[in-house]
Amino acid sequence: MEPETHYARAGEGYIGYQVIGGGTLDLVFIPSWSSNVDVMWDDPSLAHFLRRLASFARLICFDKRGTGVSDPVSLAALPTLEQWADDVLAVMDAARSTHAALVGHAEGVPMAMLFAASHPERTTALVLMEGFARLQRDIDYPHGIAPEQVATFLRRYEERWGTGANVDQIAPSRADDPRFRQWYGRYERCAIGRGASTAVYGSTILGIDVRPLLPTIHVPTLVLHSHGNRHVRLGHGQYLAAHIAGAKYVELAGDDHLFYAGDVDRRLDEAEEFLTGTRPAPESDRVFATILFTDIVRSTERAAELGDRRWRELLDEHDARVRRELARHRGCLVHSTGDGVLATFDGPARAIRCGDAITRSIREIGIDVRSGLHAGEVEQRGDDIGGIAVHLAARVMETAAPGEVIVSSTVKDLVAGSGLNFAARGAHVLRGVPGEWRLFAVER
């Protein structure tokens, strides 16, 4: 569920904002100068970033005046950095936040620093991501855009706005993702129009210079900057850290400028530890594996036919034979499902041969089993595993007939050249799993 959008009065207009989470720490997130608090939840990576912040704080997000769901402004009276800082104060007051930590990104970084310098009593800490003190190069500031390059920069900026082409520059790790490019183009269009975006960037953003403010910032400050950032070069972040007293500087790997591209969780881990004093526990280990599910066909009916004692004896024999075949094929038994097993393998060919061997061995004691295999990344949670790949393997098994071993196309492709043969079983819509999946039966 998306958070509800509220409005705060700021000057003669209204600022749209949202509040999510309920921690004791208030956190105001200031994105780059253009945003849309309604559309941002449509991208999973951006939503993940915001929800992680809200997992340890009460998070306040907003659109600056002139952008997103906030009231538009006239091109004849473009917002100033001071007015944007006033927007922070307006949403904090509306959300009844007496003091908060500020997390700023890109053009949101000068806003956060101006607010912290002007309202230290309302600011508990700063987290500055991919930011700058000024964007244009100067005689004593070699990091920015050269004055003679500004016209070309703005022309290209205007041509790319709303098309998704800016992803190449600001999120190269996502450049080959057509869905993300399409969404990002829409996000820009929903934030502000093309002409207005160029006017604001050329008039307000490129005119920012908050270097005199830096020595006046006395709140705890964390500076995060990506080593290969192509949009706001590394020197900008290093300059901030060097000129804010006591600032902690963390250089991140990667080329992305967008805070929700690349190693997103590393960025979040650093921010959470800095703001709370506690680094989050690492996520469960993730490994690539081939997952095998087996299931005894008509187990309930067979139990009724044989009686509890005989059925228990058959199950014990079933379990012993399954374990023997798993040991032979280097499989790892995760757990019994009652009338089947869940196991993993570090090789897909061994997994297929094990599934086939189990089927033949169990048939010798008068029981039919069906098996399903899929390969993918799994989360290791103690003695158990989880993840979409596990669900997929279970759904693949459900399509198998008695005595069949069915595999996903992923498994089939991984064992090319192994000598294993398959019969196509067509495309299937698997319960609870998006899209269609091509399945294949193992031929003996």
Residue 63: which of 91, 44, 26, 42 has the closest Cα? 91
| Residues 136, 142, 147, 151, Cα dihedral to 10° | -70
Domain count, the chain: 2
427 & 409 share domain: yes
Sign of CA dihedral 230, 236, 242, 246: negative
222 & 335 share domain: no
Contacts for 375 with CB less than 8 Å, ≥ 6 apart: 288, 289, 290, 291, 348, 351, 389, 408, 410, 411, 414
Strand 100-105 to 123-129 pairing: parallel
Strand 58-62 to 26-30 pairing: parallel
Confidence of residue 1 (pLDDT cuts 50, 70, 90): low
Q: First CA to last CA across the chain, in angstroms?
A: 49
101 & 238 share domain: yes
Partner residues linked to 288 by β-bridges: 377
Partner residues linked to 169 by β-bridges: none
210 & 160 share domain: yes
259 & 380 share domain: no
What CATH number corresponds to the domain at position 59? 3.40.50.1820
In the chain, the percentage of residues whose pLDDT exceeds 70 is 98
19 & 127 share domain: yes
Query: What does the pLDDT look like over 342-387, one tens digit per residue?
Result: 999 988 999 999 999 999 999 998 889 999 999 998 887 767 888 8
Q: Give SS3 for 178.
A: helix
What CATH number corresponds to the domain at position 399? 3.30.70.1230
220 & 324 share domain: no
184 & 327 share domain: no
- Cα–Cα distance for residue pair 328/306, rounded to 1 Å: 30
What is the phi-psi region of residue 345: left when phi exceeds 0, alpha when psi lies from -120 to 50, beta otherwise? beta
317 & 415 share domain: yes
Query: What does the pLDDT look like over 185-229, one tens digit per residue?
Result: 999 999 999 999 889 888 888 889 999 999 999 999 999 999 999
pLDDT above 90 (res 302): no
Sign of CA dihedral 186, 64, 160, 106: negative
Task: Determine the pLDDT at residue 75.
Answer: 82
Query: What does the pLDDT look like over 76-130, one tens digit per residue?
Result: 788 888 999 999 999 999 999 999 999 999 999 999 999 999 999 999 999 999 9
- Cα–Cα distance for residue pair 45/33, rounded to 1 Å: 19
436 & 298 share domain: yes
Residue 203: which of 374, 77, 355, 104 has the closest Cα? 77
Q: Which of 276, 297, 331 is the last residue of a domain?
A: 276
Sign of CA dihedral 115, 120, 123, 124: positive
Confidence of residue 159 (pLDDT cuts 50, 70, 90): very high
231 & 306 share domain: no
301 & 264 share domain: no
Q: Which of 247, 276, 305 is the last residue of a domain?
A: 276
The residue range of the domain holding 438 is 285-443
Q: How many CA atoms, within 13 angstroms, populate the side-chain half-sphere of residue 30? A: 35
Q: Which of 255, 276, 297 is the last residue of a domain?
A: 276
